[in-house]
Structure 1
Amino acid sequence: MKSRNAAYYVAGALILTLGVTYAAVPAYRAFCSATGFSGVPITDSARFLPDRLYPSKESALANRITVHFEATASDELKWKFTPQQKYVKVLPGETALAFYTAENWGTEDVIGIATYNTTPSRMAPYFAKVECFCFEQQKIRAGETVDLPVFFFIDRDIIDDSSLIGVDDVVLSYTFFKARRNKQGHLEPDAPLDVVEKASGFEGYELAKKD
């Protein structure tokens, strides 16, 4: 499992440095769906088999991990975006359900797209979301309020990672941007690339635009 995760993230780094761009959204999202990279729900069913979705004897003896929730909406988006809970405490391997709320305060219907990030970043390979709203377009009508669920678990393999010994807190952050269509007709966050990179935890990568 750990070697497969390492291979996924090496492949992810190669794809990003070769120039994954907004123009390549379908390919990028296909990669994310297979690996969980950037918060897109993992579709590898091996991660969601029943024997993985409960604490093992070892992880049941571990400290609970506090997952803190943060929410931000860009200035261009007239939305109030907040987590419904400040935090939850979970054991490695234990599933949890959390909710965010988004309210459109504007006078027009708007489509938004959320990016995702975890802090510390080294937690990311173990933070698996069975279902979430990240990188999915969310249309909210003027004056409408919607609940956005996140169903997740922290992989119990985390207890074998010596670099995370004593790390009992993780922050799950989402940032909503107004959506726009690029030249290829794909919806993308309506914000400068460096802003989206930072919100998604990709700051420092060079993602060149393609014509």
Structure 2
Amino acid sequence: MSRMSPEKKTVTWLVGVVITMGALAWAAVPFYDWFCRVTGFGGTTQVAVAAPDQVLDEVVRVRFDANVDKNMEWTFRPMQTSMEIKLGENGLAFYEAINNSDVPITGTASYNVAPEVSGYYFSKIECFCFTEQTLQPGERIEMPVSFYVDPDLLKDRDASWIRDITLSYTFHRTEPKQAALDAEPADNVN
């Protein structure tokens, strides 16, 4: 049985380190995304199927904010600046988007809430931000977001003081998913 030379051991060890580092780097983005969704870290909101059955008399004010990336030729704004809802109550707000260009533009909205700790208790049921939006030249649309603030907010000593939450969106220009799929080269099998 032959023993591995010290040089081969070092090379094998270094290759193992490089592979491990690459795997960890590759896994960092999906892990961070999962972590933010689970914990509400960074103001990441939750996704729910329906509002809870329990509605409390405690009221929070939700403010609405809208931004567009600098290379996005859209006007994007909330159709209401704020609304007051009870904890657990289903809220419905609308945003307006207008394509000011002479070409179709597809965009995707990123979002967060402030204060950041409220992200764990802010849940969206339906949202335009779940899918990409394509607007034709000059097209105007109204986009709904259905949400609630979880009554468990009051049980969290770090968040129970919150009575004002800002929901903020930023639209970013993206390539339409179908166009991206069409642009992929087909596998040629000869």
- Under a length normalisation based on structure 2, what TM-score does the superposition of the two structures give? 0.70
1:74 maps onto 2:69 in alignment: yes
The counterpart of 2:29, out of the listed 17, 20, 28, is 20
Aligned length: 151
| Distance of aligned partners of 1:179 and 1:84 in 2 relative to their CA distance in 1, 3 Å threshold | same
Q: Bigger radius of gyration, 1 or 2?
A: 2
CA gap 1:115/1:36 in 2 versus in 1, 3 angstroms? farther
The 3 A distance-change label for structure 1 pair 83 and 53 is: farther
Aligned counterparts of 2:139 and 2:102: Cα–Cα separation in 1 = 10
From the superposition, tell whether residues 134 and 158 of structure 1 become closer, same or farther in structure 2 (CA, over 3 Å). same
| 1:156-200 CA-partner distances (Å, limit 9, x unpaired) | 111111112322100000000000379xx58xxxxxxxxxxxxxx
Which of 70, 86, 89 pairs up with 1:91?
86
CA distance in 2, matches of 1:92, 1:129: 14
Instruction: Give distance in 2, aligned partners of 1:161 and 1:17.
Output: 34
Partner of 1:75, secondary structure, is coil
Spell out the pairing of 1:124-143 with structure 2 (5 A cutoff). 124-143=119-138
- Identity percentage over the alignment? 29
SS of residue in 2 equivalent to 1:164: coil
Select which of 38, 41, 52 maps to 2:47.
41
Residue in 1 that maps onto 2:175 = 180
The within-5 A match list for 1:1-211 is 18-20=27-29, 38-39=44-45, 41-42=47-48, 45=49, 48=50, 52-55=52-55, 59-60=56-57, 62=58, 64-180=59-175, 185=180
Structure 2: give runs of 5+ residues left out of the alignment: 1-23, 182-190
**Conserved in 2, the CA contact under 8 Å of 1:116 and 1:175?**
yes
If the length of structure 1 is used for normalisation, what is the TM-score?
Answer: 0.63
| Letter of the structure 1 residue corresponding to residue 47 of structure 2 | P
Which sections of structure 1, spanning at least 5 residues, go unmatched?
1-14, 187-211
Using the TM superposition, give the Cα deviation of residue 40 of structure 1 relative to its aligned residue in structure 2, in angstroms: 6.8
In structure 2, C-alpha distance between the alignment counterparts of 1:134 and 1:171, rounded to whole Å? 16
Cα RMSD for the two superposed structures: 3.0
> Which residue pairs with 2:187 in the alignment?
none
